[in-house]
Structure 1
């Protein structure tokens, strides 16, 4: 499941999968800005068949945090 998440991040942010590590944080690269953040949220909602709460959308500030948040919705890593 982590590989699926890594691929979603890479494709949505238009970066290589090698760049997607636990240390990848919002606004740490030009590709992850507010617009691409919302695209990422929409893709995660679609791919994992969930609807994130607003608080989680705001808190999703890194790849590591994404795994933590998605686990609240039953996604196992």
Structure 2
């Protein structure tokens, strides 16, 4: 359920089909995921999961898979 929610956030913010999102999807691997959309993604994740991701984790969030790992630290279960 949470993975689907996160997938939907990625698809919406990056304006790509959900089918394109996998754990291997990485920052800057597609033109849509640049530094500006990265910050929009963080904001949408914070809103969607009621978190406040800290700066180190924002920088560390380099892939969809890593996003799940980071959110797990904030108590989101996958």
Normalising by structure 1, we get a TM-score of: 0.99
TM-score normalised over the length of structure 2: 0.97
RMSD: 0.4
Find runs of 4+ consecutive structure 1 residues off by over 6 angstroms.
Answer: none
Tell me how many residue pairs correspond in the alignment. Answer: 77
Gaps of 5+ in 1: none
- 1:65 counterpart residue number: 66
Structure 2: stretches of 5+ with no match in the other structure: none
Distance 2:25 2:3 in 1: 14
* Partner residue, 2:55: 54
Taking the aligned partners of 1:22 and 1:48, their CA distance within structure 2 comes to 19
Kindly provide the CA deviation profile for residues 11-67 of structure 1, in whole angstroms up to 9, marking residues without a partner as x. Answer: 010000001101100000000000000000000011110100100000000000000
Residue 35 of structure 1 corresponds to which residue in structure 2?
36
